[in-house]
Amino acid sequence: MPDAPVTAYIGIGGNLGDARATVERALRALATQLPGCQGLRASSLYRSAPVDAGGPDFVNAVAALQTTLSPLALLHALQALEQAEGRERPYRNAPRTLDLDVLMYGALRLDSPELTVPHPRCHERAFVLLPLAELWPEGVRPDALAAVADQRIERL
C-alpha cells in the first residue's frame, strides 16, 4: 500500500443492458464502496462506437479518486464491481455490462501479467482521452486529442 493517497484514474464503460444506468451505478459504487478510496471526481458521460468488436454503442466516463489501495488491490476491487454487474469475459473486446480499467495510478509505471499502468491503449481512444481531459486537462496533450478526432464519440 502507498504511504499517502495516490490519484488513480479509472476508465468506465459498458454496452449491454441499460449501459447508462450501469455506468452511473459504477460511479456511485466507486464513491462509496471501495475501501481506501475517497474524493471521487467524475467526467461527463459519453457515447462511443465499439472498438474492434460489434455490439451496441458504449457509454463511457472517467473517474479520478484518491486511494491508499495498492495498484493490484485497486484492480481486484474494480473487478469485484464488474462481477457484481454481471461482467463476463467470453473473448477479447466482447460486449460487456461493465468495464473498469485502471488508466493511471499516480506516476507509477507498471508492466505485469495482471496489470499495466498507464493503460497501454488509453492514448489511442477518444472514449478515454476526452473524459480524461475534463478531469486532468494538463495531462492530455492536444496532439493526442487530434489523433483520435476521427473516432465517433458524443457527450451525453
Does the pLDDT at position 93 exceed 70?
no
Q: Does the annotation mark 152 as catalytic?
A: no
pLDDT band of 92, cuts 50, 70, 90: low
pLDDT-based confidence at 3, cuts 50/70/90?
Answer: confident
Spatial neighbors of 60 by CB under 8 A, at least 6 apart, are: 11, 12, 13, 23, 45, 46, 47, 48, 127, 128, 131
Q: Mean pLDDT of all residues in the chain?
A: 92
**Three-state secondary structure call for residue 30:** helix
Q: What are the pLDDT digits (tens) for 100-141? A: 999 999 999 999 999 999 999 999 999 999 999 999 999 999
- pTM attached to this predicted model: 0.94
Clarify whether 96 is annotated catalytic: yes
With pLDDT > 90 as the criterion, what percentage of the chain qualifies? 81
Radius of gyration of the chain from its Cα atoms, rounded to whole angstroms: 15
pLDDT in tens, 68-91: 999 999 999 999 999 999 877 666
Where exactly are the structural domains of the chain? 6-155
57 catalytic residue (yes or no) = no
- 6-155: what fold? Alpha-Beta Plaits (3.30.70)
Active-site hit among 25, 57, 92, 99:
99
Task: Quickly state the pLDDT bin for 1 (edges 50, 70, 90).
Answer: low
The three cell numbers of residue 9 are 484514474
* 111 noted as active-site residue: no
Q: How confident is the model at residue 53 (pLDDT cuts 50, 70, 90)?
A: low
pLDDT at 90: 61
